[in-house]
Amino acid sequence: MKYAFFVGCTTLGRLPGYEKATRKLCERLGVELIDMLGSSCCGTTYMESLDEVTALSLAARNICIAEEMGLNILTICNGCTETLTKANATLKQDQKQLDEVNKILKEIGREFRGTIEVKHLIRALKEDYGLDKLEKAVTNPYKNLRVATHYGCHLLRPSDVMRFDDPNTPTSMDNIIEATGAISVPYPEKMECCGGPIMGIREDVTWSIGLDKINTVKKHAETLITSCPFCYLTYERAQLMKENKPDLPIIHLPQLLGISLGLSGEDVGLSHNKIDSEFLKTKQGA
């Protein structure tokens, strides 16, 4: 298995542990990640509301790089996943939009052809790698580790475009976690937004929403597992801003997976997590 790896701006700029864990996890699984040289911002989830053609062109330029590589794109940011997936679908279906975008891309010697797909790490693990194979790769299964999952809004929605899992009652992330021996627990308001999208408008509301979920999760699980850099940062920062922090570890999915595959805390960048996550290494056993 081989993918064009689209890391995304937030992970590159703020979450080195997430990138490191993803690369080490894929290396351990025999999945080859090829860097997309010259890639840029995906186009962001909100730019289309300001200028749809510019947003499509930005996304299309990145997709063209993967097309030239002859590889599907692997993403680890929910926002990037949605932006690139929507642009890919739109340009494959709308000839008028395609012609307009390709006119722009022609200025830099590129052309959108519609030959590749975009997959988040979760989707690639479930659909391409396979849960059975993943479970067999686990060498250090967790014992009695109760975790809560946070899917985030953009991984599954809009469902008619993303076409992956049930947007209301998803199971893909939970299934992957359970392959490690950990227990993915149900909890109230599991599918609620982290609050991140309104940070620039009502920051106080963002932290309130984040802390509400943190306090709920603490009643049911030992950690919250995320698959999106924005959601991770929201839940982490919401706690760090409090004088009496809830201290609920927020852990990137590939960090959880990596430890179960025999990787070290250093391998998966646990030291980069601002809320101590080293306890993961003590939760394993027969």
Alpha carbon 69 to its chain centroid, in Å, reads: 22
Residues 246 and 190 in one domain: yes
Which pLDDT value is given to residue 284? 84
pTM for this entry: 0.96
Three-class SS state of 42: coil
Say how many C-beta atoms besides its own lie within 10 A of residue 35's C-beta: 12
Residues 33 and 159 in one domain: no
Q: Please say if the pLDDT value at position 66 is more than 70.
A: yes
Which pLDDT value is given to residue 278? 94
In the block, which residue shows the tokens 């599991």?
A: 190
Task: Give the domain-ending residue among 120, 150, 179.
Answer: 120
164/46: higher pLDDT: 164
Element (H, E) at 103: helix 95-105
The CA-atom distances, in angstroms, between 198 and each of 168, 183, 205, 230 are: 22, 31, 8, 12
- Does 92 fall in a domain? yes
Residues 82 and 164 in one domain: no
Looking at 14-28, 237-251, 252-266, which range is the least confident one?
237-251
Quick one: pLDDT band at residue 200, thresholds 50, 70, 90?
A: confident
Residues 30 and 145 in one domain: no
| Helix, strand, coil % in the chain, rounded to nearest 5 | 50, 10, 40
Q: Domain tally for the chain?
A: 2
Mean pLDDT of 121-130: 98
CATH of the domain at 248: 3.40.50.11810
- Does 224 fall in a domain? yes
Helix then strand count (H, E) for the chain reads 12, 8
Which pLDDT value is given to residue 199? 84
Over the chain, what is the mean pLDDT?
Answer: 96
Q: Torsions phi, psi of 224, nearest 5?
A: -115, 125
Distance CA 116, CA 36 (A): 14
CATH of the domain at 77: 1.20.1050.140
Q: Please say if the pLDDT value at position 243 is more than 90.
A: no
Contact 82, 24 (CB under 8 A): no
pLDDT 10s digits, 80-105: 999 999 999 999 999 999 999 999 99
